[in-house]
Structure 1
């Protein structure tokens, strides 16, 4: 377990790799090619600032560290690869992962949302409703997550470990990784291990993380852990990206809190259909306990950060569960409308280079969401799109009022 590759040297990859570096392991960080940040890592190393006031600098000349980019062929296979790129960029590094791994390699996927490996488990599929099982047996991927099943075809034979990351963090303009509250990881094998050897390796890795700055636990219910984080992501990332508001601003609004109740209920309707037991479903109490702790309230979630920087974001956070609902013929009108709003918001943010990147504002006097004046007056969206958005916004507002 000494030689580890971290693909994606952004906030999460830097955090996880730095923890293992402190443990004395050999770490290779592979960043995005032709990126100013990757060039900075190669020249100046990695800087990390933690919530407990600890700071860490990893020199690029340290003998246990390499800073490269994913255009660099390292000519070796790794025992463990931590994949920390965002889900919408995962297909871009699939062949790089394959080239530096073999079937015995442990792939630790630290992405938000429904992962590509979700249906790659016969034992899991056998627990589902017979009609759902028939639909998924020959088509084990979601188009919103893994178009044409490319990821599944290239990486499905590896030892895949799901990784749920709870670590509000961001990269500053100076390139330093700022961690806003004590980070946590939940890791779990996506398929059962007959001989328990892989599980022992992952449990040992959890111990290593825990001893070096990241509280990490192993679970045999990784899908349930993913669902709990996904509910949190839909509430925080999606609503924040649509409104440009930090989490604290959102949760002080009664209308938003009513909407959150509906979102949780619809998400749990999907999760329950896909085999998550009632006792493992996300609860309002658990979600609010997390987002109201110090460090979360002033945090702008990653999806909103991407939109503000005019970069494509992880819209599959909501489009994937909506696709799952469509496959199972479930009605989730609020999630569907939020999904449609988010897709337009991403397109608008990518095109709108000078104005605000979000499309909704909260009218506190009327206690509802409204489209921003900038959006309605913009030539980036046509009248038909505005009319369509208004219809979806009406559904969102009605959902909040009905609670």
Structure 2
């Protein structure tokens, strides 16, 4: 297939690009700066879990969406949620009527209420899509939902380290099992991923979000890895309380969780001494993905008249931290405990 990966030099985008290219797909990545140069000169390098020698894929690499030469069959949007709106016009122009768009943002996506049989159908999630500008420019019929589970790290420009996991569940926004979803699932399987088709992709979004909205900001505030957060009683209790508030919101929206809170926390602990993506961003001085991961959940709490004292407190603290880092153009990093 002809695949374009926007953010293809990043941790998840690069992982996908190498594996899909190695499986014989025609892959173009959109990247910037030193990452773009590295990909053009040396190819994309992927160090798989447990391997020392990297896989190298020589993919097409361009610096902007408008430079992509052909209309892709599949577009994978592997950028942060706050990076979508600035590129939405170019994204809309890139896609053809049959192009499948697979957004891979963490948190509540802009399309959450689109093609949903609900009293909130087509409601804009203002936190991630102010004034509904993304909704107005991207046809929801092109979108195939996806939840990203692998843990990866961008070691250096053009070099990605795969930590663990290979699951990318997908699902149509209306819950149908479509022919195109089957094609994408097969394509992902041939590249070495597990990509089952789900009839309720939103429930899977909440399951992943349960961890992201808690462990990401807690890790940024404490500079602790997942194992440490889950083993320290006070932060474990905080995570549990945040998850309980979110579960109440989700259930009011008709979502059923297939695992309980304790099992979700245990799963995070098993990942071990892994820095969350938000902690990695904090240490690099990048803008934190706090609105999509936590602000959006608080917004849905307001829609459903659900109190969110723990979520709102952690949100406020992390927003202030992010403001401080961005205004100082600095980075924060503490040595990890042994």
- Compute the TM-score of the two structures, normalised by the length of structure 2: 0.92
Identify the residue that residue 282 of structure 2 maps to in structure 1: 307
Paired residues of 1:83 and 1:108 also in contact (CA < 8 A): yes
Identify the residue that residue 112 of structure 2 maps to in structure 1: 118
Does 1:242 find its partner at 2:225?
no
Does 1:189 find its partner at 2:183?
no
Aligned residues: 331
Identify the residue that residue 48 of structure 2 maps to in structure 1: 50
Q: 1:357 and 1:327 mapped to 2: Cα distance?
A: 36
CA shift, 1:260, in A, is 1.7
Identify the residue that residue 160 of structure 2 maps to in structure 1: 177
Paired residues of 2:298 and 2:308 also in contact (CA < 8 A): yes
Q: 1:11 and 1:242 mapped to 2: Cα distance?
A: 22
Deviations 1:177-199 (A, max 9, x none): 01111321111111255xx5xx2
Quote the RMSD (CA, aligned, Å): 2.0
Equivalent position to 2:239, from 260, 274, 284: 260
Does 1:224 find its partner at 2:203?
yes
Paired residues of 2:284 and 2:331 also in contact (CA < 8 A): no
Equivalent position to 2:315, from 339, 346, 363: 339
Q: 2:13 and 2:68 mapped to 1: Cα distance?
A: 18
CA shift, 1:221, in A, is 0.8
Larger Rg: 1
- Counterparts in 2 of 1:205 and 1:157: CA distance versus 1, 3 Å: closer
**Mind listing any 5+ residue stretches in structure 1 that lack a counterpart?**
60-64, 126-132, 359-403
Identify the residue that residue 374 of structure 1 maps to in structure 2: none
Identify the residue that residue 40 of structure 1 maps to in structure 2: 38
Identify the residue that residue 160 of structure 1 maps to in structure 2: 143
Q: 1:281 and 1:268 mapped to 2: Cα distance?
A: 12
- Compute the TM-score of the two structures, normalised by the length of structure 1: 0.77
- Counterparts in 2 of 1:243 and 1:43: CA distance versus 1, 3 Å: same
Identify the residue that residue 296 of structure 2 maps to in structure 1: 320
SS at match of 1:27: strand
Q: 2:96 and 2:288 mapped to 1: Cα distance?
A: 30
Q: 5 Å matches for 1:125-144?
A: 125=118, 133=119, 136=120, 140-144=123-127
SS at match of 1:290: helix
Does 1:83 find its partner at 2:77?
yes
Paired residues of 1:241 and 1:303 also in contact (CA < 8 A): yes
Equivalent position to 1:74, from 28, 49, 68: 68
**Mind listing any 5+ residue stretches in structure 2 that lack a counterpart?**
none
- Counterparts in 2 of 1:200 and 1:258: CA distance versus 1, 3 Å: same
Identify the residue that residue 12 of structure 2 maps to in structure 1: 12
- Counterparts in 2 of 1:282 and 1:352: CA distance versus 1, 3 Å: farther
- Counterparts in 2 of 1:174 and 1:68: CA distance versus 1, 3 Å: closer
SS at match of 2:147: strand
